[in-house]
Each structure stands twice: as C-alpha cells, then as structure tokens.
C-alpha cells in the first residue's frame, strides 16, 4: 500500500499472524490494543534478520557486523524523528513512555524545581504521568495541582488560567487518555502554559499510535511514546525533547556510551542524544520500531485515523443500544480516540472480560493505571475495548454478541 491508497483492512489483517488464531473454539477478536498492539510480519522479519545476521554492539566496533548494527540503529532513529517531525539528535531511546517521563522528572526536574514551585497535572493521567511527578514533588518540595474532568471525560479548560500561576514550572498532560479515549486539545494547553512561563511534557503513549503527530506543531517541550503500542517491539520507547533543554540537562544514568572523557574525579558527557543512553541499548527494539514506523507511514497515519473514526462511529452506535451499559468518555467522536470504556449492569468488569474471553474477544478490565479517573466517576474498574488499524466492523459485532452473553448470565 502507498499513502493515499484505499485502506484495505483485510489485507492489513493478513500482515498480523497473531490475529489468525483461535481462543478455544472461537476465532480471536483482539480488542486490547490500548495495552499493546499486535506486530506485523514486516517487524517480526526485521527482528529475526537483525539477530540472525547483524547482531553486534553499536558505536563500539569497526568490524562489519558492528557497522551494520550501528547503521540500522541510527537509521531507526532517523525514521522515528521523521515520523514525529523532529530532528534525530532530539530523539532519545528509552524502554518506553514510563522511562521517558521518569528521565525528564529526574534529569530536568531535580535541577529546575524548588520548594513551592508547582506542577500541573490532570485527573485523567496514566499513573506513569503521575507517580514520577509525585516522587519529584516529595524530593523538591514542589506542589502538585490538578486540572479536573467534566462528566464526559473532557478536561475542564475553563479553570486552566486559574491553575497556571507564576510558580507553575511544568504542565504534564496526556495527548489521548488510555482510560477514556479523550483526545486532548494539546496545542491550546501548550499555549496557555507557555504564556505562564511553564514547560510542557506530553504523554503520547496513546497519541502517536492513532494520530498524525508533529512535535513542532504541538509546541510542547517533551513528547514521549512507546513502541509496543504502535506495532513495534516491547521494551523500546522514545523521548523527544527540545535541543536546548536536553543540552542543559544532566544525564539520567551513568555508564558506558554516555561519556566523552572519564577522569579520576569527574567525567564529561557525550553529545545529545547519546548522553541519555547509558549502556548497551535495546538495539533490536530500536530497529524493530523503525520497521513499525515504516509500516505505519506506508499506510499513512491520516488514513489510520480515518479508519478508526469510521470504526468507532459504528462501534458506539452498536454498543449504545445495549441495555444497562454505561459508557465513559466523550460522546463526540471528534473528541474520542479508539477506546470504549464501560460497565454493564451489575456485572463486574473482570467477569465481563472473562465471559468475553470465552467468546474469543480480548478486552481489558481494571482501573487501567488510571485510578484518579475511576475515583472521578465513582467506579472501581471498567471494561475497555480498544481498537486499532486491523480491527473491523465484524470485530465490533463479535463484541456486542459477547456482551449479550454477559447480559444473559447476569440478567
């Protein structure tokens, strides 16, 4: 497929071997994509090829295997940078979104926050974009403030100007909520934060997966995302940061590769991005993510987003007709990504997930590492069906059929 071509979902499904299996006597319907996506053959083949042919450490050898491994590793960095409209020198490999946020909290936060400074978060954040800031506040004496949610799972931006003060140093916000599917108006939030003199970190774990991303247009200072949610391997992620901020930050970890010179009593650091990549990196993971980015760019992210919007329109129409269902998140599809979180009557979300699994339908149940969201809507947990580029209306129908089985069991 080429960008702009018709989105052939059946051809795409054929690229993902894991989708072609049964659960018991039912064919698999995979609707747990917000937790992790399946991997296309193009990624699996690149991983095999790296380990079978090019396996060597990067940057440290002049032999042929090391040269090939280094070239593939740095080529993947260039691919990821192009995918988000960035310069490769601003792309840092991490283990995932969680490590990327912790890197900023430690390397930027410890040097730039003092007692009484403020960090503005939101009620909808994944724990990965809450707990690092709580730890930072405890260490520095900074104060945490929160932007709240309305009844439809949207940020109450009317209160943003009151929350931003001359002590606000950082605003951390998710691009897309993993628990509600809410697409946040990041550019509007960034503009308000900049006017107050704060920097902005965006948790893009669910954003880069579903939406075209250009970090220059977003205007934020840091953007973080994970490879495994966007057709790539586990254990690899990305921190993008503005060059001037990265240059000023101290290293997150010390060790090999991140140094320029080591003396008895001090060391000097390698240039960004290598300053933040201590030790032997996840070379295969980076190469695999590069292949995943190639795959997504070939489909084109606008086409992916369009397919998911059409699928969500169908899914919301079908699911709303189920008696006793309570859906969380925005009613408007313009404000919602490919997630439907719900409860159904008196059935516990874990029971819903168990029954659906028996019907071959994989969904997630729990608090989704977003306990503040659960508290906001007075529930302990929800069931969550999350869709991706390879899901179809037939998958939606199977979900609805499974929920009717839940109804029949719980009355």
Instruction: Give the pLDDT band of residue 4 (cuts 50, 70, 90).
Output: very low
Active-site pick, 369, 379, 400, 405 = 369
Structure tokens at 82: 């192009």
Instruction: Give the pLDDT band of residue 303 (cuts 50, 70, 90).
Output: very high
Compute the radius of gyration of the chain from its Cα atoms. Answer: 22
- Give which of 240, 238, 285, 278 is closest to 262, Cα–Cα: 278
**pLDDT average, residue stretch 101-123:** 98
Q: How far apart are the first and last CA of the chain?
A: 46
Q: How many CB atoms sit inside 10 A of residue 33's CB? A: 26
**Can you tell me the distance from the alpha carbon of 384 to that of 364, in angstroms, rounded to the nearest whole number?**
5
* Measured torsion, CA atoms of residues 61, 267, 110, 189, in degrees rounded to the nearest 10: -50
Please list the residues that pair with 385 across neighbouring strands: 340
Q: What is the predicted pLDDT for the residue at 225?
A: 98
Buried/exposed 109-139: b ≥16 CB within 10 Å, e otherwise: beebbeeebbbbbbbbbbebbbbbbeebbee
pTM, two decimal places: 0.96
DSSP H or E run through 16: none
Helix 283-299 vs helix 301-320: angle between axes, to the nearest 10 degrees? Answer: 80
Domain ranges of the chain: 9-30+300-410, 45-298
Q: What is the predicted pLDDT for the residue at 240?
A: 98
DSSP 151: T
Question: How many Cα atoms are found within 13 Å in the side-chain-facing hemisphere of 46?
Answer: 24
Residue with tokens 């108006």: 185
Residue with tokens 């028996």: 358
Give 9-30+300-410's CATH code, choosing from 3.30.365.10, 3.30.450.40, 3.90.1150.10, 3.40.50.720. 3.90.1150.10
pLDDT tens-digit readout, 162-177: 999 999 999 999 999 9
Mean pLDDT of the residues in the chain = 96
Whether the per-residue pLDDT at 183 is higher than 70: the answer is: yes
CB 281 within 8 A of CB 93: yes
Whether the per-residue pLDDT at 30 is higher than 80: the answer is: yes
State the DSSP string of 292-335: HHHHHHHH-HHHHHHHHHHHHHHHHHHHHTSTTEEEES-SSGGG
pLDDT tens-digit readout, 228-283: 999 999 999 999 999 999 999 999 999 988 998 999 999 999 999 999 999 999 99
Whether the per-residue pLDDT at 60 is higher than 90: the answer is: no
Provide CB contacts within 8 A for 95, sequence distance 6+: 235, 236, 237, 282
Measuring CA to CA, how many Å separate 204 from each of 62, 176, 180, 230?
36, 7, 15, 11
Q: What is the predicted pLDDT for the residue at 411?
A: 77
Residue 369 annotated as catalytic = yes
What CATH number is given for 45-298 in this structure? Answer: 3.40.640.10
Measuring CA to CA, how many Å separate 391 from each of 83, 176, 254?
23, 19, 43
Instruction: Give the pLDDT band of residue 2 (cuts 50, 70, 90).
Output: very low
pLDDT tens-digit readout, 319-371: 999 999 999 999 999 999 999 999 999 999 999 999 999 999 999 999 999 99
Is-cis flag, bond preceding 346, omega within 30? no
CB 224 within 8 A of CB 101: yes
Whether the per-residue pLDDT at 59 is higher than 60: the answer is: yes
Whether the per-residue pLDDT at 5 is higher than 60: the answer is: no
Helix 41-49 vs helix 283-299: angle between axes, to the nearest 10 degrees? Answer: 150
**Can you tell me the distance from the alpha carbon of 407 to that of 273, in angstroms, rounded to the nearest whole number?**
53
- Give which of 68, 51, 382, 100 is closest to 252, Cα–Cα: 100
Whether the per-residue pLDDT at 214 is higher than 50: the answer is: yes
Instruction: Give the pLDDT band of residue 61 (cuts 50, 70, 90).
Output: confident
């Amino acid at each position: 497929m080429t960008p702009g071509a018709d989105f052939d979902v059946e051809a795409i499904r054929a690229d993902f071997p894991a989708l072609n299996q049964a659960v018991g006597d039912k064919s698999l319907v995979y609707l747990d994509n917000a937790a992790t996506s399946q991997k296309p053959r193009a990624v699996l083949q690149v991983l095999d090829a790296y380990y079978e042919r090019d396996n060597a450490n990067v940057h440290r050898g002049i032999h042929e295997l090391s040269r090939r491994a280094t070239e593939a590793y740095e080529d993947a960095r260039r691919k990821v940078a192009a995918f988000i409209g960035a310069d490769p020198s601003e792309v840092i490999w991490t283990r995932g979104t969680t490590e990327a946020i912790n890197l900023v909290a430690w390397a930027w936060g410890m040097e730039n926050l003092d007692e009484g400074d403020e960090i503005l978060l939101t009620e909808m954040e994944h724990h990965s974009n809450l707990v690092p800031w709580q730890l930072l506040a405890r260490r520095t004496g900074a104060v945490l403030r929160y932007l709240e949610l309305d009844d439809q799972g949207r940020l109450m931006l009317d209160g943003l100007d009151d929350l931003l003060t001359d002590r606000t140093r950082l605003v951390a916000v998710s691009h897309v909520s993993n628990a509600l599917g809410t697409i946040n108006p990041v550019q509007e939030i960034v503009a308000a934060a900049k006017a107050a003199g704060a920097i902005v970190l965006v948790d893009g774990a669910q954003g880069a997966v579903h939406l075209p991303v250009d970090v220059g247009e977003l205007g934020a200072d840091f953007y973080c995302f994970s490879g495994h949610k966007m057709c790539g391997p586990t254990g690899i992620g990305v921190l993008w940061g503005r060059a001037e901020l990265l240059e000023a930050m101290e290293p997150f970890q010390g060790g090999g590769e991140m140094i320029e010179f080591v003396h008895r009593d001090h060391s000097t650091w390698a240039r960004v991005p290598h300053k933040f990549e201590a030790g032997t990196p996840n070379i295969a993971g980076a190469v695999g993510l590069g292949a995943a980015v190639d795959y997504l760019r070939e489909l084109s992210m606008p086409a992916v987003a369009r397919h998911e919007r059409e699928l969500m329109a169908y899914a919301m129409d079908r699911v709303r007709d189920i008696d006793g269902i309570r859906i969380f998140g925005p009613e408007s599809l313009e404000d919602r990504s490919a997630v439907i979180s719900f409860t159904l009557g008196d059935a516990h979300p874990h029971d819903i997930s168990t029954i659906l699994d028996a019907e071959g339908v994989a969904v997630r149940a729990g608090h989704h590492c977003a306990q503040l969201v659960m508290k906001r809507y007075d529930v302990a947990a929800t069931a969550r069906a999350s869709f991706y580029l390879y899901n179809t209306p037939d998958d939606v129908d199977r979900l609805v059929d499974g929920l009717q089985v839940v109804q029949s069991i719980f009355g």
